[in-house]
Amino acid sequence: MANCSKILLEQNEKKKVIRVLYSGSRFSITPCLFENLKNMEQYVTVATENHETTCWGCGLRLLLPSHASVFKCGWCGAITNQSKQKCDKKGLRWRRLGDRCILTIVLVFMLFLIFGGVWAVYPVVYSISLFGIFHSIITVTLVVATISSFSFSAFRCAGTPPNLVWGSYPTVANGDLENYTFCDYCSKPKSPRTHHCRSCGKCILDMDHHCPFIGNCVGADNHRSFIAFLISGLFSTIYISIVSAHAGLHTWPPLTYSIGRIHGTTSENLAWRIVKETIFAFLRSLLLLSTRGFILVYLFIASVSMMIGLSALLWQQLRFIYEGETYLSRLSSQAHNGDGKKDCQNLVRFFGFPYSVQRFLPKFLATQKRLIKGNTHDL
């Protein structure tokens, strides 16, 4: 990438004067400095075959080498990619329709887990007075937490980039658009922390990924709600699996065995007959299982499967937050620039605590330091 903050030189053969273009301004220097400047390759780009172009950020005309397809303005800091073709917006309607369908399926599944689960476990769990009140409070708490966090994640804007003034030199100050690029979809500036989502059809600030299960992106404005949804969903699936297993044991039909004569059989044959008869007894009991029992079996299998998936996704998200990265930054080359620092303070700041935890315990820490110093002096 040709950096326009580097000095671009051109030599006027008639006047024997070298003009230096830097940050949109021109000034004259003596010809004897030309060779010295030309040797400074890390700071100077010599424009032998050049052409003029306009920076989209500030509107200044820049003198560039003909081969420079990507360049950075020396005044506003905006990055321009001339080789990038106009993006195609076809298929946006179908992608949105697919997200809406998946979102509807997830909502129906969540409502089935709630109402179907309450109906299935009611005779065993909610029929007892104190025991039923305790489980009712837990159920209402988990339902409210899961539904509210899911709604905030799905129906709140993931992150709107700030509106900036661009395209005019007098209004764009030096470095206002540092490392900004131009979004061909939205036709407006895009910060380094902003990505364009082709499914949502707009730029998202601090975009982590596009989640089809919520039909929305995960960005700066709903990332905490998404983490809260994963946590509440994980505890809800754990609770559903335990309660459904407990209710299933009380409603399952009794197993009937018919091992037959065991006299004269070896231990290996006896063990195999016991295992085989247990399997057949379980299958026979399925024929006597009620509708409530089938729903309990489905709730247990579905909750365990969801628990495994939510645990893996929550672990991945917390690991990225701890490392100061996002899913997209890990995939891109930005993950290897060394800016991300692994620190627990990243988790603290993410969840809304701008200060260190030690800030809230000054007296305790001061007392511990005095005790340590006293013990050191005694030794």
SS (H, E, C) 250-313: HHCCCCCCCCCCCCCCCHHHHHHHHHHHHHHHHHHHHHCCCHHHHHHHHHHHHHHHHHHHHHHH
Q: Could you report the per-residue pLDDT of 70-115, keeping only the tens digit for each?
A: 888 888 888 888 776 666 667 788 888 888 999 999 999 999 888 8
In this prediction, residue 52 carries a pLDDT of 76
Residue 285: Cβ-neighbour burial (10 angstroms; 0-12, 13-18, 19+): middle
In this prediction, residue 289 carries a pLDDT of 78
In this prediction, residue 136 carries a pLDDT of 87
Helices and strands (H, E) in the chain, number of each type: 10, 15
Q: Could you report the per-residue pLDDT of 154-197, keeping only the tens digit for each?
A: 998 888 888 888 888 778 888 888 888 888 888 888 888 889 88
Given the residues 76, 211, 217, 344, select the one marked as catalytic: 211
Query: For this structure, is 87 an active site residue?
Result: no
Every domain of the chain and the residues it spans? 2-81, 92-157+223-252+289-319, 343-379
In this prediction, residue 141 carries a pLDDT of 94
| Residue 16 vs residues 47, 232, 295, 364: alpha-carbon distances, Å | 16, 74, 90, 74
Q: Give the list of residues 6+ apart from residue 356 with CB closer than 8 angstroms, or none.
A: 345, 348
Token pair in block for residue 215: 């039909």
Q: Rounded to the nearest 5°, which phi and psi values hold at 28?
A: -100, 145
* Spans of the chain below 70 pLDDT: 1-50, 65-68, 84-89, 127-128, 257-268, 270, 333-340, 353-379
Q: Distance between CA 170 and CA 256 in Å, rounded?
A: 88
Full-model pTM: 0.72
In this prediction, residue 262 carries a pLDDT of 54
Nearest Cα neighbor of 252 from 300, 297, 303 is 297
